[in-house]
Amino acid sequence: MRRILSGLLFSATLLCNNLEATAQYNRVAMNREYIISLTPQWKGERLPDGRPFVSDDLLERLKKVVLTHAWGGLKKHKFNNQYQGNWMMVNPDKNTIMTGRAVTAQYMPLRPDFGDVIRKVGLAEGHGEKALSNVWPIEMLKEGDVYVADGFAKMNEGTLIGDRLANSIYSKSKRGVVFWGSVRNLQEIQKVEGFNGWILGNHPSAINEVMLTSINAPIRIGDATVLPGDVVYASPYGTLFLPAYLVEGIVLEAEISNLRHVYGIMRNKAGDWTTGQIDSDYTPQMNKEFHDYLRGLPDSKLPMPRKELNAYLEAKK
């Protein structure tokens, strides 16, 4: 019995030693399989890196959606932690709404030993040897991407980009950034045509004592959890991060809600419905009148394809 127990203990020790020998930190940018495993509910097309590919058409339609309607759609599906407000916008005067597919990045305070491991792994993945690691996510951007980064709210020496990198981001993605952190040289960043950003602040210092720890892994942006491939909705009124598989339904419901809002005000001004009626749930008769109104709208007045509207109305019968 003793010999059996000793043998088992010896085997267990060898197994543990073997696991320790093979386990290693081997990814900075997450691979396709990992990203797919994070987003199994998405059944549509994917980008080469594995992120869900929400169509450009839906991204454009989302720009016209009122934030509270999109937020309500998320709440309906029990996604209660996808909003973050209180941003500083790079170009607040442009009243921009930006939508796109999230590329996520996580930054942490520099720890030299871990930083050395990250650099070694990142170089093996093909990231630029001469570039600092804050350039690596930018190298991966494609048109339609929004660079979303957790810079752990560091202001002084936490500046994730300056104007040169802002130019590069826009040239690759035709979008901007959402940073839980800061930028430098805001005066020049504001001159980058088409670029906008949602940031915590700006500082004249260069980035220092900061290390990139992951690209396209889950991150936290303030009160929100963000996955790679989430659809970003960034507006002067705050940001939302929508799970890709919910976007189509949320956009359609939001478009219907906005049409309902406009229709209710129209009927109220005409004296047909009271304020109390339009500010509460519609009665069956009110819904019928609203749906008849939708059927009669010309295609040019619809925010959604006629086919989607017809399917929605058929489901509501």
pLDDT tens column, 142-174: 999 999 999 999 999 999 999 999 999 999 999
Please answer whether residues 234 and 44 qualify as being in contact, where contact means their C-beta atoms are separated by less than 8 angstroms. Answer: no
- What is the C-alpha to C-alpha distance for residues 142 and 185, in angstroms, rounded to an integer? 24
Question: What stretch(es) of the chain map to CATH 3.50.30.40?
Answer: 32-53+85-242
> In Å, how far from its chain's centre is CA 140?
16
- Burial class, 38, CB count within 10 angstroms (exposed 0-12 / middle 13-18 / buried 19+): middle
Half-sphere exposure of 19 (CA within 13 A, CB side): 5
Question: Higher model confidence: residue 128 or residue 206?
Answer: 206
Q: Which amino acid is at 237?
A: Y
SS3 306: helix
Distance CA 97, CA 307 (A): 26
Per DSSP bridges, beta strands 197-199 and 177-180 are parallel
Question: Tokens 């048109």 correspond to what residue?
Answer: 143
* Annotated binding residue 164: yes
Task: Assess whether pLDDT exceeds 90 at residue 49.
Answer: yes
Q: Are strands 145-150 and 98-109 parallel, antiparallel or unpaired?
A: parallel
CA–CA distance, 281 with 266 (Å, rounded to integer):
16
Of 121, 112, 117, 143, nearest in space to 47 by CA: 143
Task: For residues 70 and 233, give the distance between their C-alpha atoms in angstroms, rounded to a whole number.
Answer: 9
Instruction: Supply the pLDDT for residue 285.
Output: 96
Is the pLDDT at 14 greater than 70? The verdict is no
* The domain over range 32-53+85-242 is classified in CATH as 3.50.30.40: yes
184 is in an annotated binding site: yes
- 179-218 tens-digit pLDDT: 999 999 999 999 999 999 999 999 999 999 999 999 999 9
Say whether 163 counts as a known binding-site residue. Answer: yes
Per the prediction, the chain carries an average pLDDT of: 92
177-180/145-150 β-pairing: parallel
Q: Is residue 85 a known part of a binding site?
A: no
Predicted pLDDT of residue 130: 77
